[in-house]
Amino acid sequence: MSSLLHHETGIARDVRRRRSLCPAARALTQQQQALEIIDAVGSDNLFLQYDIYHMQVMEGNLAPTIQRNLDRIRHLQLADNPGRNEPGTGEINYPFLFGFIDKLGYSGWIGCEYKPARSTAEGLDWIRPYL
Q: Taking 60 as the threshold, does the pLDDT of residue 14 lie above it?
A: no
pLDDT grade for 30, boundaries at 50, 70 and 90: confident
pTM here? 0.80
Buried b (16+ CB within 10 A) or exposed e, 32-70: eebbebbeebeeebbbbbbbbbbbbbbeeebeebbeebb
Q: Is residue 49's pLDDT more than 60?
A: yes
For 40, half-sphere exposure in the C-beta direction (CA atoms, 13 angstrom radius) is 8
What's the topology of domain 2-130?
A: TIM Barrel (3.20.20)
Percent of the chain at pLDDT above 70? 79
pLDDT at 47 over 80: yes
On the question of pLDDT at 119 being above 60, the answer is: yes
In a 13 Å sphere around the CA of 38, the CA atoms on its Cβ side amount to 23
13 pLDDT higher than 60: no
pLDDT on residue 4? 44
